Amino acid sequence: MPHLILMRHGQSMWNAAGLFTGWVDVPLSPTGIDEAREGGRAIAHLAIDEVHVSTLIRAQMTAMIALSEHHSGLTPVVQYPTDVEDGMSENETRMREWSQIRGEAGQEGLLPVHVAWQLNERMYGDLQGLNKQATRDQYGAEQVHVWRRSFDVPPPSGESLELTAKRTLPYLESTLLPALEAGKSVFVAAHGNSLRSIIMHLDGLDTEEVLALEVPTGVPIVYTMDNGSLVRSQA
């Protein structure tokens, strides 16, 4: 049966430093690299037919490091759209035109990787780059907890989990679920809050239950498609 593998990126350098990150494009820390490798080992035996990652480097690093442990030996290749649109920059046009595989041999052993901004972390607005403990000291631990964990209260100038879900869930419905329904197994490497919104939907959590939902770094969460429904299973 096809399965959906969700994995939050390994520890980033700003996770380690205790800073709010959001859409700031920060790479993995050495610990995060180890977590991604360990997470990859946990799913090395599971079939993976396609990969979806956010636009942020910490998620992309996590996916590639995890896949380096996979038993299939497939080569992950980022897929760029083939069409060139009006108003695109020269670099964007060149990337779409020049990145396409020409030879048949290059199509063999390929694992397609799709990059989607919809899977990006929740945008933390004015908190991005602030020290988490200093922010608690300034605004109070309870207020910061509400900003970080509540469903519909955004941080100043940022996104709430509710707003994040308005981009992640349409991507789940339009792209991920059709792949699963077609019999493909899908690996998603993304972020704590983009994955919280998807897990909230899949597990049927309400706005109170989601407050306690934690998504650990580098730990795969596996769902199996069973009679048209996704059910949690063991990696």
Number of domains in the chain: 1
Q: Do the domain assignments include residue 102?
A: no
The Cα 10–Cα 35 span in angstroms is: 5
Q: Do the domain assignments include residue 53?
A: yes
Mean pLDDT computed over 66-74:
97
- If you average pLDDT over every residue of the chain, what do you get? 95
Q: Do the domain assignments include residue 80?
A: no
How many Cβ atoms sit within 10 Å of the Cβ of residue 118? 19
CATH code of the domain in which 21 resides: 3.40.50.1240
Q: Do the domain assignments include residue 192?
A: yes
| Owning domain of residue 202 | 3-74+109-233
Euclidean distance between the first and final Cα of the chain, in Å? 13
Mean pLDDT computed over 146-172:
96
Give residue-wise pLDDT tens across range 77-117. 999 888 888 888 999 899 889 999 988 888 899 999 999 99
Mean pLDDT computed over 160-179:
98
Q: Do the domain assignments include residue 91?
A: no
Closest CA to 206 of 155, 158, 150, 164: 150
Mean pLDDT computed over 28-37:
98
Q: Do the domain assignments include residue 210?
A: yes
Q: Do the domain assignments include residue 51?
A: yes
Q: Looking at the annotation, which residues are catalytic?
A: 9, 121
> What local confidence, expressed as pLDDT, does residue 228 receive?
85
> What local confidence, expressed as pLDDT, does residue 35 receive?
98
